[in-house]
Structure 1
Amino acid sequence: MRDPQSPSATPTAYDMELCVVELRAALAAHGITLPSLRVDLPTFAGTYPPPAGLIALGNCNTATASKLAAVLREGAAQ
């Protein structure tokens, strides 16, 4: 099994979906829900090397974005 943290590893659609599930659970543990959190599948078709795929986090309101930023700052301080 390859290490998904390895810089040479190219994530699959399954890897990306698993990442979304884990991120959604981690955010939910802090009371944060991002309905738009998803895999951005068109990024797998990109021409940049290597095609890696992106996670879409956008379309959240200001209160959610502020709460997310606070949780991330708190986590970085630990």
Structure 2
Amino acid sequence: MATTEQRDVDPHTAVESLRQALAEAGIVLPSLGVDFGHPGLNLVEMGRVRADMAERLAEAVRRGGRE
């Protein structure tokens, strides 16, 4: 079940955490960064990604991060 509860997380910390987790799965999102256009919302910009990386990301999510 998905949760709608929002936690106060530093977007810079979230970006680095996500970047590291993706790298461990062999996935690189070149546009990954903090969205500075909406500083109060703590948004993370994931940007554009090649189709092959999107497929790898989908597979990693389906596996739950397990190899």
TM-score range, shorter chain: 0.7 to 0.9
Structure 1, unaligned runs of 5 or more: 1-5, 45-50
* 1:41 paired residue among 27, 36, 43: 36
Sequence identity percentage: 35
- Normalization by structure 1: what TM-score? 0.68
RMSD of equivalent CA atoms: 2.2
Partners in 1 of 2:20 and 2:54 — Cα distance?
17
Report SS of the residue matched to 2:16. helix
In the alignment, is residue 54 of structure 1 matched against residue 43 of structure 2? yes
What count of residue pairs does the alignment treat as equivalent?
A: 62
Distance 1:61 1:76, change over 3 A: same
Once the two structures are TM-superposed, the CA of residue 76 in structure 1 deviates from its matched residue by: 7.6
**Structure 1 partner of 2:6:** 7
- Normalization by structure 2: what TM-score? 0.78
Partners in 2 of 1:69 and 1:54 — Cα distance?
21
Partners in 1 of 2:25 and 2:65 — Cα distance?
15
User: What residue identity is the alignment partner of 2:51?
Assistant: T
- What whole-Å deviation, never above 9, does each CA across 1:35-73 have from its counterpart, x for those lacking one? 1000111122xxxxxx32211112101000111011011
Structure of larger gyration radius: 1
Distance 1:42 1:25, change over 3 A: same
Distance 1:72 1:20, change over 3 A: same
